[in-house]
Structure 1
Protein backbone atom coordinates (compact mmCIF):
# COMPACT_ATOMS: atom_id res chain seq x y z
CA UNK A 1 0.00 0.00 0.00
CA UNK A 2 0.99 3.61 -0.55
CA UNK A 3 1.46 4.81 3.02
CA UNK A 4 2.50 8.41 2.48
CA UNK A 5 2.97 11.13 -0.15
CA UNK A 6 6.23 13.07 0.05
CA UNK A 7 6.85 16.14 -2.16
CA UNK A 8 10.31 17.67 -2.38
CA UNK A 9 11.40 20.78 -4.30
CA UNK A 10 14.90 21.22 -5.63
CA UNK A 11 16.73 24.18 -4.16
CA UNK A 12 15.86 27.54 -5.68
CA UNK A 13 14.51 30.94 -4.79
CA UNK A 14 11.20 30.63 -6.62
CA UNK A 15 8.05 29.46 -4.86
CA UNK A 16 5.32 29.25 -7.49
CA UNK A 17 4.20 25.84 -6.25
CA UNK A 18 3.39 24.65 -2.75
CA UNK A 19 3.32 21.13 -1.38
CA UNK A 20 -0.48 21.20 -1.25
CA UNK A 21 -0.68 22.28 -4.90
CA UNK A 22 1.42 19.28 -5.93
CA UNK A 23 -0.68 16.98 -3.74
CA UNK A 24 -3.72 18.04 -5.78
CA UNK A 25 -1.89 17.11 -9.00
CA UNK A 26 -1.43 13.60 -7.62
CA UNK A 27 -5.16 12.94 -7.32
CA UNK A 28 -6.35 9.96 -9.35
CA UNK A 29 -10.05 9.32 -9.93
CA UNK A 30 -10.84 11.97 -7.33
CA UNK A 31 -8.95 10.01 -4.69
CA UNK A 32 -5.46 10.47 -3.35
CA UNK A 33 -3.09 7.69 -4.31
CA UNK A 34 -2.53 7.20 -0.59
CA UNK A 35 -3.78 3.81 0.63
CA UNK A 36 -4.01 2.47 -2.93
CA UNK A 37 -2.14 -0.76 -3.70
CA UNK A 38 1.29 0.03 -5.12
CA UNK A 39 0.67 -2.16 -8.16
CA UNK A 40 -2.25 -0.01 -9.38
CA UNK A 41 -0.46 3.35 -9.07
CA UNK A 42 0.40 4.64 -12.55
CA UNK A 43 3.67 6.44 -11.88
CA UNK A 44 4.17 7.52 -15.48
CA UNK A 45 0.72 9.14 -15.60
CA UNK A 46 1.36 10.97 -12.32
CA UNK A 47 4.76 12.18 -13.52
CA UNK A 48 3.26 13.39 -16.79
CA UNK A 49 0.50 15.23 -14.96
CA UNK A 50 2.95 17.07 -12.71
CA UNK A 51 5.34 17.81 -15.59
CA UNK A 52 2.54 19.47 -17.57
CA UNK A 53 2.21 22.19 -14.94
CA UNK A 54 3.63 25.44 -16.43
CA UNK A 55 5.73 26.10 -13.31
CA UNK A 56 7.49 22.72 -13.45
CA UNK A 57 10.77 22.36 -15.34
CA UNK A 58 11.40 18.76 -14.36
CA UNK A 59 9.53 16.18 -12.26
CA UNK A 60 10.22 12.68 -11.06
CA UNK A 61 7.63 10.45 -9.35
CA UNK A 62 8.56 7.11 -7.82
CA UNK A 63 7.62 4.65 -5.06
CA UNK A 64 10.02 3.64 -2.32
CA UNK A 65 10.19 0.11 -0.93
CA UNK A 66 8.44 1.21 2.26
CA UNK A 67 5.44 2.62 0.38
CA UNK A 68 6.25 6.32 0.16
CA UNK A 69 5.20 8.04 -3.06
CA UNK A 70 7.98 10.57 -3.64
CA UNK A 71 7.73 13.49 -6.05
CA UNK A 72 10.87 15.50 -6.80
CA UNK A 73 10.23 18.81 -8.56
CA UNK A 74 12.46 21.42 -10.11
CA UNK A 75 10.46 24.61 -10.59
CA UNK A 76 11.04 26.89 -13.56
CA UNK A 77 13.16 29.90 -12.70
CA UNK A 78 12.09 33.21 -14.28
CA UNK A 79 14.78 35.15 -16.11
CA UNK A 80 12.58 38.12 -17.04
CA UNK A 81 9.01 39.39 -16.95
CA UNK A 82 7.78 40.30 -20.43
CA UNK A 83 5.03 42.76 -21.22
CA UNK A 84 3.27 42.52 -24.55
CA UNK A 85 0.31 44.90 -24.75
CA UNK A 86 -1.84 44.08 -21.72
CA UNK A 87 -0.24 40.65 -21.30
CA UNK A 88 2.44 39.87 -18.73
CA UNK A 89 4.35 36.61 -18.40
CA UNK A 90 7.73 35.31 -17.29
CA UNK A 91 10.25 33.50 -19.44
CA UNK A 92 12.91 31.09 -18.23
CA UNK A 93 16.39 30.36 -19.61
CA UNK A 94 14.89 28.11 -22.26
CA UNK A 95 12.51 30.80 -23.51
CA UNK A 96 9.51 28.94 -22.08
CA UNK A 97 6.62 31.20 -21.10
CA UNK A 98 5.63 31.03 -17.42
CA UNK A 99 2.28 32.48 -16.34
CA UNK A 100 2.10 35.13 -13.63
CA UNK A 101 1.26 33.78 -10.19
CA UNK A 102 -0.69 35.07 -7.22
CA UNK A 103 1.54 32.95 -4.98
CA UNK A 104 4.86 34.46 -5.88
CA UNK A 105 6.38 37.46 -7.64
CA UNK A 106 9.92 37.14 -8.97
CA UNK A 107 12.27 40.12 -8.88
CA UNK A 108 13.53 39.95 -12.45
CA UNK A 109 13.87 42.68 -15.10
CA UNK A 110 10.70 43.89 -16.83
CA UNK A 111 11.17 43.58 -20.59
CA UNK A 112 9.24 45.33 -23.36
CA UNK A 113 9.57 45.42 -27.14
CA UNK A 114 10.44 41.71 -27.48
CA UNK A 115 8.03 39.58 -29.46
CA UNK A 116 9.24 36.74 -31.67
CA UNK A 117 11.35 33.67 -30.83
CA UNK A 118 14.53 35.11 -32.38
CA UNK A 119 14.27 38.25 -30.26
CA UNK A 120 13.60 36.18 -27.12
CA UNK A 121 16.66 34.02 -27.83
CA UNK A 122 18.81 37.14 -28.17
CA UNK A 123 17.26 38.60 -25.02
CA UNK A 124 18.00 35.46 -22.98
CA UNK A 125 21.68 35.59 -23.91
CA UNK A 126 21.83 39.27 -22.90
CA UNK A 127 19.98 38.71 -19.62
CA UNK A 128 22.23 35.77 -18.72
CA UNK A 129 25.26 38.04 -19.23
CA UNK A 130 23.66 40.65 -16.98
CA UNK A 131 22.70 38.05 -14.35
CA UNK A 132 26.27 36.74 -14.19
CA UNK A 133 27.30 40.05 -12.56
CA UNK A 134 25.92 40.48 -9.02
CA UNK A 135 25.88 44.28 -9.28
CA UNK A 136 24.05 44.55 -12.61
CA UNK A 137 21.68 41.72 -11.68
CA UNK A 138 20.24 44.05 -9.03
CA UNK A 139 20.88 47.37 -10.80
CA UNK A 140 19.09 46.74 -14.12
CA UNK A 141 15.35 46.62 -13.38
CA UNK A 142 13.87 47.07 -16.87
CA UNK A 143 14.98 46.38 -20.43
CA UNK A 144 13.37 47.93 -23.50
CA UNK A 145 14.12 46.64 -26.98
CA UNK A 146 13.61 49.42 -29.49
CA UNK A 147 12.43 48.95 -33.06
CA UNK A 148 16.00 49.28 -34.35
CA UNK A 149 17.07 46.28 -32.23
CA UNK A 150 18.93 48.33 -29.64
CA UNK A 151 18.38 48.06 -25.89
CA UNK A 152 17.78 50.71 -23.24
CA UNK A 153 17.96 49.93 -19.51
CA UNK A 154 16.16 51.44 -16.55
CA UNK A 155 18.22 51.19 -13.39
CA UNK A 156 17.65 51.00 -9.65
CA UNK A 157 20.18 53.60 -8.49
CA UNK A 158 18.78 56.71 -10.21
CA UNK A 159 16.39 58.27 -12.74
CA UNK A 160 18.89 58.07 -15.59
CA UNK A 161 18.64 55.49 -18.38
CA UNK A 162 21.40 53.45 -19.98
CA UNK A 163 21.52 53.33 -23.79
CA UNK A 164 23.13 49.94 -24.33
CA UNK A 165 22.84 49.57 -28.10
CA UNK A 166 22.78 46.12 -29.67
CA UNK A 167 23.37 42.89 -27.77
CA UNK A 168 26.80 42.33 -29.29
CA UNK A 169 29.87 42.82 -27.06
CA UNK A 170 27.56 42.81 -24.02
CA UNK A 171 30.26 41.79 -21.53
CA UNK A 172 32.60 44.51 -22.78
CA UNK A 173 29.86 47.16 -22.57
CA UNK A 174 28.96 46.14 -19.03
CA UNK A 175 32.61 46.27 -18.02
CA UNK A 176 32.83 49.78 -19.49
CA UNK A 177 29.62 50.79 -17.72
CA UNK A 178 30.86 49.48 -14.39
CA UNK A 179 34.09 51.46 -14.69
CA UNK A 180 31.98 54.59 -15.29
CA UNK A 181 29.75 53.76 -12.33
CA UNK A 182 32.73 53.25 -10.04
CA UNK A 183 33.79 56.84 -10.65
CA UNK A 184 30.45 58.61 -11.12
CA UNK A 185 28.74 57.07 -8.09
CA UNK A 186 31.64 57.94 -5.80
CA UNK A 187 31.93 61.59 -6.86
CA UNK A 188 28.11 61.80 -7.30
CA UNK A 189 28.38 63.27 -10.81
CA UNK A 190 25.99 60.56 -11.99
CA UNK A 191 23.03 62.59 -10.68
CA UNK A 192 23.68 65.18 -13.39
CA UNK A 193 22.80 62.85 -16.22
CA UNK A 194 19.58 61.58 -17.79
CA UNK A 195 21.23 59.26 -20.36
CA UNK A 196 24.38 57.15 -20.15
CA UNK A 197 25.31 55.81 -23.58
CA UNK A 198 27.71 52.86 -23.82
CA UNK A 199 26.89 51.72 -27.36
CA UNK A 200 29.86 53.47 -28.94
CA UNK A 201 33.19 51.70 -29.06
CA UNK A 202 35.54 52.46 -26.16
CA UNK A 203 33.68 55.48 -24.76
CA UNK A 204 30.79 56.51 -22.53
CA UNK A 205 28.67 59.44 -23.73
CA UNK A 206 26.43 61.14 -21.16
CA UNK A 207 23.56 63.57 -21.68
CA UNK A 208 22.91 66.00 -18.85
CA UNK A 209 19.55 66.94 -17.38
CA UNK A 210 20.33 70.59 -18.13
CA UNK A 211 20.67 72.19 -21.58
CA UNK A 212 24.45 72.09 -21.52
CA UNK A 213 24.60 69.32 -24.06
CA UNK A 214 26.82 66.25 -23.88
CA UNK A 215 29.82 65.61 -21.68
Structure 2
Protein backbone atom coordinates (compact mmCIF):
# COMPACT_ATOMS: atom_id res chain seq x y z
CA UNK A 1 0.00 0.00 0.00
CA UNK A 2 2.82 2.37 0.97
CA UNK A 3 4.65 1.51 -2.25
CA UNK A 4 1.57 2.45 -4.29
CA UNK A 5 1.26 5.78 -2.51
CA UNK A 6 4.95 6.54 -3.04
CA UNK A 7 4.67 5.56 -6.72
CA UNK A 8 1.66 7.84 -7.15
CA UNK A 9 3.53 10.74 -5.53
CA UNK A 10 6.55 10.19 -7.80
CA UNK A 11 4.34 10.12 -10.90
CA UNK A 12 2.60 13.33 -9.82
CA UNK A 13 5.96 15.03 -9.26
CA UNK A 14 7.23 13.92 -12.69
CA UNK A 15 4.03 15.13 -14.36
CA UNK A 16 4.24 18.49 -12.58
CA UNK A 17 7.89 18.84 -13.61
CA UNK A 18 7.12 18.09 -17.26
CA UNK A 19 4.26 20.60 -17.31
CA UNK A 20 6.48 23.29 -15.79
CA UNK A 21 9.32 22.49 -18.20
CA UNK A 22 7.09 22.68 -21.26
CA UNK A 23 5.51 25.91 -20.04
CA UNK A 24 8.92 27.45 -19.40
CA UNK A 25 10.18 26.35 -22.83
CA UNK A 26 7.19 27.82 -24.66
CA UNK A 27 7.11 31.04 -22.66
CA UNK A 28 8.29 33.94 -24.76
CA UNK A 29 10.50 36.52 -23.08
CA UNK A 30 8.49 39.56 -22.11
CA UNK A 31 8.77 42.26 -24.76
CA UNK A 32 10.41 39.94 -27.32
CA UNK A 33 10.48 41.47 -30.81
CA UNK A 34 9.84 39.66 -34.10
CA UNK A 35 13.03 39.81 -36.14
CA UNK A 36 12.24 37.63 -39.17
CA UNK A 37 9.58 35.92 -41.27
CA UNK A 38 10.06 32.26 -42.14
CA UNK A 39 8.07 31.40 -45.28
CA UNK A 40 7.03 27.89 -46.31
CA UNK A 41 5.37 27.59 -49.72
CA UNK A 42 3.43 24.48 -50.67
CA UNK A 43 2.75 23.08 -54.18
CA UNK A 44 5.58 24.92 -55.96
CA UNK A 45 5.65 22.14 -58.59
CA UNK A 46 2.22 23.15 -59.93
CA UNK A 47 1.29 26.63 -58.83
CA UNK A 48 2.39 30.21 -59.32
CA UNK A 49 5.37 31.49 -57.39
CA UNK A 50 4.72 33.37 -54.16
CA UNK A 51 8.03 34.75 -52.92
CA UNK A 52 9.06 35.92 -49.46
CA UNK A 53 9.60 39.38 -50.91
CA UNK A 54 6.01 39.44 -52.19
CA UNK A 55 4.57 38.27 -48.85
CA UNK A 56 6.53 40.90 -46.90
CA UNK A 57 5.49 43.59 -49.39
CA UNK A 58 1.82 42.63 -48.98
CA UNK A 59 2.03 42.85 -45.20
CA UNK A 60 3.84 46.19 -45.34
CA UNK A 61 1.20 47.68 -47.64
CA UNK A 62 -1.53 46.56 -45.23
CA UNK A 63 0.39 48.01 -42.28
CA UNK A 64 0.63 44.65 -40.51
CA UNK A 65 4.26 43.70 -41.10
CA UNK A 66 5.46 41.85 -37.97
CA UNK A 67 9.13 42.79 -38.32
CA UNK A 68 10.21 44.94 -35.36
CA UNK A 69 6.94 44.47 -33.47
CA UNK A 70 6.52 42.76 -30.12
CA UNK A 71 5.45 39.15 -30.54
CA UNK A 72 2.56 39.48 -28.10
CA UNK A 73 1.10 42.28 -30.22
CA UNK A 74 1.19 40.36 -33.51
CA UNK A 75 -2.23 39.00 -34.50
CA UNK A 76 -1.59 35.86 -36.55
CA UNK A 77 -5.25 35.55 -37.60
CA UNK A 78 -5.10 39.03 -39.15
CA UNK A 79 -1.98 38.06 -41.09
CA UNK A 80 -3.64 34.86 -42.32
CA UNK A 81 -6.78 36.72 -43.38
CA UNK A 82 -4.88 39.33 -45.41
CA UNK A 83 -2.61 36.81 -47.13
CA UNK A 84 -5.60 34.64 -48.07
CA UNK A 85 -6.97 37.56 -50.09
CA UNK A 86 -4.12 37.19 -52.58
CA UNK A 87 -5.49 35.74 -55.88
CA UNK A 88 -2.86 32.99 -55.96
CA UNK A 89 -3.11 31.92 -52.31
CA UNK A 90 -5.64 29.31 -51.18
CA UNK A 91 -4.91 29.61 -47.47
CA UNK A 92 -2.23 30.80 -45.06
CA UNK A 93 -1.29 29.61 -41.58
CA UNK A 94 0.88 31.65 -39.19
CA UNK A 95 2.47 30.94 -35.84
CA UNK A 96 5.17 32.44 -33.63
CA UNK A 97 8.36 30.69 -32.54
CA UNK A 98 10.20 31.06 -29.21
CA UNK A 99 13.21 32.36 -31.18
CA UNK A 100 11.31 35.46 -32.30
CA UNK A 101 10.23 34.48 -35.81
CA UNK A 102 6.82 34.55 -37.46
CA UNK A 103 6.38 31.38 -39.50
CA UNK A 104 4.04 31.68 -42.48
CA UNK A 105 2.91 28.56 -44.34
CA UNK A 106 1.24 29.34 -47.65
CA UNK A 107 -0.85 26.89 -49.68
CA UNK A 108 -1.14 28.09 -53.24
CA UNK A 109 -4.11 27.71 -55.53
CA UNK A 110 -3.42 24.99 -58.08
CA UNK A 111 -4.47 25.79 -61.67
CA UNK A 112 -5.91 22.95 -63.75
CA UNK A 113 -6.99 24.76 -66.93
CA UNK A 114 -6.25 27.90 -68.96
CA UNK A 115 -9.32 29.43 -70.61
CA UNK A 116 -9.06 31.74 -73.64
CA UNK A 117 -12.57 32.18 -75.02
CA UNK A 118 -13.80 33.78 -78.23
CA UNK A 119 -15.42 36.59 -76.21
CA UNK A 120 -11.99 37.78 -75.06
CA UNK A 121 -12.01 36.30 -71.56
CA UNK A 122 -8.65 35.00 -70.40
CA UNK A 123 -8.19 33.29 -67.03
CA UNK A 124 -7.19 30.13 -65.18
CA UNK A 125 -9.44 27.74 -63.27
CA UNK A 126 -8.03 26.20 -60.11
CA UNK A 127 -8.65 22.74 -58.65
CA UNK A 128 -11.70 24.06 -56.78
CA UNK A 129 -13.36 25.47 -59.89
CA UNK A 130 -12.75 29.13 -59.08
CA UNK A 131 -11.27 31.74 -61.41
CA UNK A 132 -7.63 32.82 -61.17
CA UNK A 133 -6.12 35.85 -62.93
CA UNK A 134 -4.27 35.32 -66.23
CA UNK A 135 -0.97 36.67 -64.85
CA UNK A 136 -0.52 33.59 -62.64
CA UNK A 137 2.85 31.96 -63.23
CA UNK A 138 2.07 28.28 -63.78
CA UNK A 139 5.00 25.90 -63.93
CA UNK A 140 3.07 22.73 -64.78
CA UNK A 141 1.71 21.72 -68.18
CA UNK A 142 -1.94 22.73 -68.52
CA UNK A 143 -4.46 22.14 -71.24
CA UNK A 144 -5.86 25.29 -72.88
CA UNK A 145 -9.60 25.67 -73.47
CA UNK A 146 -10.60 27.82 -76.45
CA UNK A 147 -13.72 28.61 -78.43
CA UNK A 148 -17.28 29.44 -77.51
CA UNK A 149 -16.97 29.29 -73.71
CA UNK A 150 -19.35 30.81 -71.19
CA UNK A 151 -17.82 31.26 -67.76
CA UNK A 152 -20.60 29.24 -66.11
CA UNK A 153 -19.86 26.32 -68.46
CA UNK A 154 -16.14 26.62 -67.74
CA UNK A 155 -16.56 26.69 -63.96
CA UNK A 156 -18.85 23.67 -63.94
CA UNK A 157 -18.29 21.29 -66.89
CA UNK A 158 -14.83 22.20 -68.13
CA UNK A 159 -13.53 22.36 -64.59
CA UNK A 160 -14.63 18.77 -63.88
CA UNK A 161 -13.17 17.61 -67.17
CA UNK A 162 -9.86 19.37 -66.45
CA UNK A 163 -9.61 17.72 -63.01
CA UNK A 164 -10.18 14.34 -64.68
CA UNK A 165 -7.40 15.05 -67.18
CA UNK A 166 -5.00 16.16 -64.46
CA UNK A 167 -5.64 12.99 -62.46
CA UNK A 168 -5.14 10.75 -65.51
CA UNK A 169 -1.46 10.53 -66.40
CA UNK A 170 -2.07 9.43 -70.02
CA UNK A 171 -4.64 12.04 -70.97
CA UNK A 172 -2.96 14.77 -68.97
CA UNK A 173 0.12 14.31 -71.17
CA UNK A 174 -1.84 13.79 -74.38
CA UNK A 175 -4.45 16.58 -74.41
CA UNK A 176 -3.01 19.94 -75.45
CA UNK A 177 -6.18 21.89 -76.25
CA UNK A 178 -9.89 21.66 -75.53
CA UNK A 179 -11.91 23.46 -78.19
CA UNK A 180 -15.55 24.25 -77.47
CA UNK A 181 -17.82 24.56 -80.50
CA UNK A 182 -21.22 26.30 -80.53
CA UNK A 183 -23.76 24.21 -78.66
CA UNK A 184 -21.09 23.18 -76.10
CA UNK A 185 -19.77 20.38 -78.27
CA UNK A 186 -16.13 19.62 -77.54
CA UNK A 187 -13.17 18.47 -79.61
CA UNK A 188 -9.67 17.79 -78.36
CA UNK A 189 -6.31 18.58 -79.92
CA UNK A 190 -3.79 15.90 -78.87
CA UNK A 191 -0.05 16.35 -78.51
CA UNK A 192 0.72 13.13 -80.40
CA UNK A 193 -0.96 12.43 -83.72
CA UNK A 194 -2.24 14.76 -86.43
CA UNK A 195 -5.95 14.35 -85.70
CA UNK A 196 -8.82 15.78 -83.68
CA UNK A 197 -10.85 13.85 -81.11
CA UNK A 198 -14.53 14.78 -81.27
CA UNK A 199 -16.39 14.09 -78.00
CA UNK A 200 -19.61 15.95 -78.71
CA UNK A 201 -21.23 17.01 -75.46
CA UNK A 202 -19.20 16.64 -72.28
CA UNK A 203 -21.18 13.72 -70.92
CA UNK A 204 -19.77 10.25 -70.26
CA UNK A 205 -16.34 11.57 -71.25
CA UNK A 206 -14.48 8.92 -69.24
CA UNK A 207 -16.01 6.14 -71.32
CA UNK A 208 -15.44 8.08 -74.56
CA UNK A 209 -11.77 8.60 -73.82
CA UNK A 210 -11.41 4.98 -72.74
CA UNK A 211 -12.60 3.96 -76.21
CA UNK A 212 -10.15 6.36 -77.84
CA UNK A 213 -7.24 4.95 -75.85
CA UNK A 214 -8.22 1.39 -76.83
CA UNK A 215 -8.38 2.55 -80.46
CA UNK A 216 -4.93 4.08 -80.08
CA UNK A 217 -3.49 0.83 -78.77
CA UNK A 218 -5.19 -1.58 -81.17
CA UNK A 219 -5.44 0.45 -84.36
CA UNK A 220 -3.23 3.54 -84.56
CA UNK A 221 -0.19 1.65 -83.34
CA UNK A 222 -0.67 -0.58 -86.38
CA UNK A 223 -1.70 1.84 -89.15
CA UNK A 224 0.09 4.97 -87.92
CA UNK A 225 -0.91 7.96 -85.84
CA UNK A 226 -1.36 10.29 -88.81
CA UNK A 227 -3.73 8.15 -90.90
CA UNK A 228 -6.92 9.89 -89.72
CA UNK A 229 -7.85 13.56 -89.44
CA UNK A 230 -10.76 13.06 -87.05
CA UNK A 231 -11.80 10.46 -84.45
CA UNK A 232 -15.46 10.77 -83.47
CA UNK A 233 -16.64 9.08 -80.27
CA UNK A 234 -19.78 11.16 -79.77
CA UNK A 235 -22.09 8.15 -79.92
CA UNK A 236 -21.93 5.16 -77.60
CA UNK A 237 -20.03 1.99 -78.48
CA UNK A 238 -18.73 3.21 -81.81
CA UNK A 239 -15.82 5.14 -83.24
CA UNK A 240 -16.15 7.00 -86.54
CA UNK A 241 -12.83 7.89 -88.17
CA UNK A 242 -12.24 10.27 -91.06
CA UNK A 243 -9.28 9.48 -93.28
CA UNK A 244 -7.03 12.25 -94.51
Pairwise same-fold verdict (TM > 0.5): yes
- The match for 2:115 is 82
Unaligned stretches of 5+ in structure 1? 210-215
Give, in angstroms, the shift of residue 119 of structure 1: 4.4
TM-score (norm 1): 0.88
Give, in angstroms, the shift of residue 115 of structure 1: 1.3
Output aligned runs, 1:32-51, within 5 Å: 32-51=65-84
Alpha carbons 2:125, 2:132 under 8 Å: kept: yes
**Given the alignment of the two structures, is residue 19 of structure 1 paired with residue 52 of structure 2, yes or no?**
yes
Rate the CA distance shift 1:37–1:199 in 2: closer, same or farther, 3 A. Answer: same
Alpha carbons 1:63, 1:69 under 8 Å: kept: yes
2: CA distance, partners of 1:16 / 1:101 = 11
TM-score (norm 2): 0.78
What SS does the corresponding residue of 2:40 show, helix, strand or coil?
strand
Alpha carbons 2:194, 2:225 under 8 Å: kept: no
66-75 or 21-30, which deviates more? 21-30
Give, in angstroms, the shift of residue 73 of structure 1: 0.7
Unaligned stretches of 5+ in structure 2? 1-32
Q: Matched residue pairs, number? A: 209
Output aligned runs, 1:99-138, within 5 Å: 99-101=133-135, 103-112=137-146, 113-138=148-173
Alpha carbons 1:114, 1:120 under 8 Å: kept: no
- The match for 1:92 is 126
Rate the CA distance shift 1:93–1:193 in 2: closer, same or farther, 3 A. Answer: same
1: CA distance, partners of 2:64 / 2:157 = 45
Alpha carbons 1:51, 1:58 under 8 Å: kept: yes
- The match for 2:4 is none
Alpha carbons 1:16, 1:101 under 8 Å: kept: no
Output aligned runs, 1:184-195, within 5 Å: 184-195=219-230
Output aligned runs, 1:131-170, within 5 Å: 131-170=166-205
Q: Which entry has the higher C-alpha Rg, 1 or 2?
A: 2
Rate the CA distance shift 1:178–1:189 in 2: closer, same or farther, 3 A. Answer: same
What SS does the corresponding residue of 2:187 show, helix, strand or coil?
strand
1: CA distance, partners of 2:64 / 2:204 = 56
